[in-house]
Amino acid sequence: MSWRISWEGEDAEIEGDKAVDLGLLINELVMNSLKHAFPGGRTGSIFIEMRHDDEARILYMRLGDDGIGKTGGAATSDAGGGQGLKIIEAIARHLGAKMEQEEGPAFVYRFHFALGPRLRPKLPR
């Protein structure tokens, strides 16, 4: 079995605590795809797309896969989703991110959240 993970993104400044949460969020989403989207040794692809609005200081992320899609599974933890989805929603809340699921047969999620203040490097004295 094999999977392809593709990344398309832009450089962005982000505070350390938000960077950690973002890494945890991406990890949980990818693990969720690997666990549920490709049963029985099925191969497939996972994509991660990120862009940001530097003036508004907002990061936009889209992550999904080409796996088996929705097979009666819940799209939110309120609808009976599993522990992984509860973790994803908790991390998104901690980031202050808005989380949406795209319409369609596959699980594709979109997030956007404030990056925080612009980081400035310390200049030598």
Selection from 24-28, 55-59, 113-117 with the highest mean pLDDT: 24-28
Tell me the pTM: 0.83
**Residue ranges covered by each domain of the chain:** 23-114
pLDDT in tens, 16-36: 899 999 999 999 999 999 888
What is the pLDDT at residue 70? 67
**H or E element at residue 60:** strand 58-65
Helix locations, the chain, DSSP H: 16-36, 83-95
Best CATH choice for the domain 23-114 from the list 3.10.520.10, 2.10.70.10, 3.40.50.170, 3.30.565.10? 3.30.565.10
